[in-house]
């Protein structure tokens, strides 16, 4: 059986963890760090890169770099959030029709699920290399407020990346698991999660082996990068005042200032004062200029004070929804890198009137909790039972644009519930079933998940034809709806899935596409290296063949024919395998020659 992993698929960073013995541990990524930037890019050289490499080349190649893809998962193009996100995060690389969002990278369009899958696949590869075994089973976390489409899209991304997704789990639930709070009965927990791009506040109640979400609130546009924006503006203003030069007009300089601002912010979580020192930041007619300025913790705290207050306003709103006062919260957990800031900790402490729990690295709590959950589901962890709940109410539209609930929010899942409806008019021959998710009593104010018709009803007076609608939510929080015409004797049943769920065939195609292209990039990299080191390329004819096959594979990768890519990469790998021993022999020979030379000299 393969090792089960837990994944925190974040907006800015993603982490992967697993159980080692009885403890969850973070698996380091290939670059050596503990988290992978959630960025994907097609480099100018035509190679797809994920993580640090993608992040680093973002300034110079922004139109082919995608980050923050989490915000587009399961969203419709027509939805409001997209416009803002396109500007803020994805530049000009999004297109789509009413329902589908496509992200353009290197002239090719991708579904957000495919981009997320590239990040997930990288994590899977890193985990396999680290653990020395195949990794397929995974629990992936999502924010508590993610709706059915967003959860389904995340699950699909996992499938495309080659995972068997054991469960989609809410981030605050995972954090509470990491702190061992599932053992507590009737305790109210607030998870304050201030990450790079978003703020989430979730109030949970532990009891009966589950966490119930009592309320969530947050701001999808408030996070560490907004803190950085404030510091950058302050630094640029100060520099302009002194030198007359606006660094914001120079992309490279601005990126250096951004990096320095974030670094200073980090340092000021443990120091009272630091210095930003950026030599040769820009030059003009008078010569090169340097940015050197002291930065005090107090200064940064002043710059972001209103942003911290805004997070507390979200906390207040969540408490109102949960009908609780701050002092009724038993435990406050701090999650997300920005909660390292002493000012954030202080304000949270003042607001709730109690010391927040720390102890676990705030960046890692969610991934560690997901690993525990994965361990539970794969049988490695046996002393915990956990039930998840559905975050939002699900129901159907009834006469007068009314939203009629079938499964109320916070119901423990999996669950299956039915409700009977009857025809509203005489001789009604069909019923349209519109499925929604949300808390409004007005149907249109909620999110439409899907619809279908029950046709060929018998022509009867109003109210006499009965239809039973069944909603079933599986353990991932994903919904299946069926309707049975009870009158005709022969029951008919129709099942729909959330609209963002990809068809099985599409998922398989995307998974094969991802796998073939990633393999192709690896073989192309190897061929390129060999070609440079292969001295006898002309005499053997093998070098020419390798060059030729490289072109064929690159050509195939321009198209959509997966078989052509596989054929191309197999041919290239075969030739590369013939060249490899020749190059090795040469380099051994050269190595000896050099060593001899040095000795005799």
List, by residue number, the catalytic residues: 8, 70, 171, 193
Task: Give me the DSSP letters along 23-47.
Answer: EEEEPPPTTSSS-EESEEEE-TTS-
| Region of 261-269, 444-452, 478-486, 502-510 interacting with ligand AMP (CB under 6 A) | 261-269
Closest by Cα among 118, 71, 80, 74 to 100: 74
State which residue, 370 or 565, has the beta carbon closest to ligand AMP.
Answer: 370
Site for ligand AMP in 297-336 (CB under 6 A): 336
Assigned token pair, 418? 């039915």
Closest separation between CB of residue 253 and ligand AMP, Å?
Answer: 20
State which residue, 178 or 479, has the beta carbon closest to ligand AMP.
Answer: 178
Which listed residue (51, 106, 162, 224) binds ligand AMP by CB under 6 A? 224
Which listed residue (3, 4, 9, 12) binds ligand AMP by CB under 6 A? 12
State which residue, 106 or 143, has the beta carbon closest to ligand AMP.
Answer: 143
State which residue, 9 or 177, has the beta carbon closest to ligand AMP.
Answer: 9
State which residue, 336 or 543, has the beta carbon closest to ligand AMP.
Answer: 336
Closest separation between CB of residue 195 and ligand AMP, Å?
Answer: 3
Task: Report the phi/psi class of residue 571: left, alpha or beta, with left for phi > 0 and alpha for psi in -120 to 50.
Answer: alpha
Which listed residue (187, 266, 357, 447) binds ligand AMP by CB under 6 A? 266
Contacts of 456 (CB under 8 A, 6+ apart): 429, 430
Q: How far is CA 375 from CA 23, 137, 244, 580, in A?
A: 10, 10, 58, 41
| Region of 138-146, 150-158, 262-270, 592-600 interacting with ligand AMP (CB under 6 A) | 262-270
Closest separation between CB of residue 263 and ligand AMP, Å?
Answer: 9
The whole-angstrom distance between residue 184's C-alpha and the CA centroid of its chain comes to 29
Handedness of CA 143, 144, 146, 152 (dihedral sign): positive
Q: Is 10 in the site for ligand AMP (CB under 6 A)?
A: yes
State which residue, 137 or 228, has the beta carbon closest to ligand AMP.
Answer: 228
Closest separation between CB of residue 72 and ligand AMP, Å?
Answer: 17
Q: How far apart are CA 455 and CA 342, in angstroms?
A: 62
CB 34 within 8 A of CB 24: no
Closest separation between CB of residue 233 and ligand AMP, Å?
Answer: 16
CB 94 within 8 A of CB 82: yes
| Region of 203-211, 264-272, 317-325, 474-482 interacting with ligand AMP (CB under 6 A) | 264-272
Task: Give the x-and-dash track for 85-124 against ligand AMP (CB under 6 A).
Answer: ----------------------------------------
Closest separation between CB of residue 341 and ligand AMP, Å?
Answer: 5
Q: How far apart are CA 7 and CA 135, in angstroms?
A: 12
Q: Is 262 in the site for ligand AMP (CB under 6 A)?
A: yes
Contacts of 283 (CB under 8 A, 6+ apart): 289
Site for ligand AMP in 333-392 (CB under 6 A): 336-338, 340-341, 363
Q: Where are the alpha helices (DSSP H) in 30-147?
A: 52-56, 80-88, 112-131
> Any idea how long the chain is?
601
CA torsion 226→202→374→164, rounded to 10°? -70
Which listed residue (109, 240, 269, 567) binds ligand AMP by CB under 6 A? 269
Site for ligand AMP in 396-435 (CB under 6 A): none
Closest separation between CB of residue 225 and ligand AMP, Å?
Answer: 6
Closest separation between CB of residue 45 and ligand AMP, Å?
Answer: 29
| Region of 145-153, 178-186, 265-273, 490-498 interacting with ligand AMP (CB under 6 A) | 265-273
Closest separation between CB of residue 8 and ligand AMP, Å?
Answer: 9
CB 154 within 8 A of CB 142: yes
H or E, element range at 511: helix 504-533
Q: Using the structure block, give the residue that is written with the tokens 């630091």.
A: 274
Q: How far apart are CA 409 and CA 413, in angstroms?
A: 10
The whole-angstrom distance between residue 418's C-alpha and the CA centroid of its chain comes to 33
Closest by Cα among 516, 553, 520, 557 to 160: 516
Q: Is 37 in the site for ligand AMP (CB under 6 A)?
A: no
| Region of 5-13, 211-219, 405-413, 520-528 interacting with ligand AMP (CB under 6 A) | 5-13
State which residue, 148 or 347, has the beta carbon closest to ligand AMP.
Answer: 347
The shares of helix, strand and coil residues in the chain, as percent rounded to the nearest 5, are 45, 30, 30
- State the residues that interact with ligand AMP by CB under 6 A: 10, 12-13, 195-196, 224-225, 262, 265-266, 269, 336-338, 340-341, 363
């Amino acid at each position: 059986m393969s090792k089960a992993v837990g994944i925190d698929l974040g907006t800015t960073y993603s982490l992967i963890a697993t159980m080692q013995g009885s403890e969850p541990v973070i698996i380091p990524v290939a670059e050596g760090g503990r988290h992978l930037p959630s960025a994907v890019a097609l480099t100018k050289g035509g190679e797809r890169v994920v993580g640090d490499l993608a992040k680093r080349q973002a300034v110079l190649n922004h139109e082919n770099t995608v980050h923050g893809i989490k915000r587009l998962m399961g969203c419709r193009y027509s939805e409001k959030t997209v416009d803002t996100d396109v500007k803020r995060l994805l530049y000009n690389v999004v297109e789509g029709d009413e329902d589908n969002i496509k992200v353009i990278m290197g002239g090719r369009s991708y579904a957000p699920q495919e981009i997320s899958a590239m990040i997930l696949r990288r994590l899977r590869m890193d985990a396999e290399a680290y653990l020395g075994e195949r990794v397929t089973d995974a629990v992936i976390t999502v924010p508590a407020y993610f709706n059915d489409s967003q959860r389904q899209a995340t699950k699909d991304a996992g499938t495309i990346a080659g995972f068997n997704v054991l469960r989609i789990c809410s981030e605050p639930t995972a954090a509470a698991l990491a702190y061992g709070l599932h053992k507590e009965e009737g305790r109210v927990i607030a998870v304050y999660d201030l990450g790079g791009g978003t703020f989430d506040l979730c109030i949970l109640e532990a009891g009966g082996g589950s966490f119930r979400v009592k309320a969530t609130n947050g701001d999808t546009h408030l996070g560490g990068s907004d803190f950085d924006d404030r510091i950058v503006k302050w630094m640029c203003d100060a520099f302009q005042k002194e030198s007359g030069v606006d660094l914001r007009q120079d992309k490279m300089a601005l990126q250096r200032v951004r990096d320095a601002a974030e670094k200073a912010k980090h340092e000021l979580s443990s120091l009272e004062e630091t210095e930003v020192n950026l030599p040769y930041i820009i030059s003009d007619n008078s010569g090169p200029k340097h940015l050197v300025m002291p930065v005090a913790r107090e200064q940064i705290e002043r710059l972001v004070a209103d942003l911290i207050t805004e997070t507390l306003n979200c906390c207040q709103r969540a408490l109102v929804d949960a009908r609780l006062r701050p002092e009724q919260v038993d435990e406050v957990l701090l999650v997300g890198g920005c909660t390292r800031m002493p000012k954030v900790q202080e304000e949270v402490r003042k607001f709730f009137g109690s010391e927040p729990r720390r102890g676990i690295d705030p960046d890692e709590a969610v991934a560690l909790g997901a690993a525990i959950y994965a361990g539970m589901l794969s049988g490695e962890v046996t002393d915990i039972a956990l039930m998840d709940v559905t975050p939002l109410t699900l129901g159907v539209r009834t006469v007068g644009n009314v939203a009629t609930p079938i499964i109320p929010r916070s119901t423990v899942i999996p669950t299956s519930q039915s409700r009977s409806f009857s025809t509203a008019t005489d001789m009604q021959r069909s019923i349209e079933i519109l499925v929604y998710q949300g808390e409004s009593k007005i149907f249109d104010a909620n999110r439409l998940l899907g619809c279908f018709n029950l046709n060929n009803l018998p022509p009867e007076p109003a109210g006499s034809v009965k239809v039973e609608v069944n909603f079933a939510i599986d353990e991932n929080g994903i919904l299946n709806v069926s309707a049975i015409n009870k009158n005709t004797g022969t029951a008919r049943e129709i099942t729909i899935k959330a609209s963002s769920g990809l068809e099985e065939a599409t998922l398989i195609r995307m998974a094969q596409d991802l796998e073939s292209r990633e393999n192709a990039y690896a073989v192309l990299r190897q061929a390129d290296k060999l070609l440079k080191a292969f001295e006898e390329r002309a005499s053997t004819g093998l070098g020419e063949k390798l060059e030729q096959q490289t072109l064929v594979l690159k050509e195939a990768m321009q198209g959509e024919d997966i078989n052509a890519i596989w054929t191309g990469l197999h041919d290239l790998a075969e030739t590369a395998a013939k060249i490899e021993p020749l190059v090795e022999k040469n380099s051994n020979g050269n190595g000896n020659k050099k060593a001899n030379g040095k000795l005799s000299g």
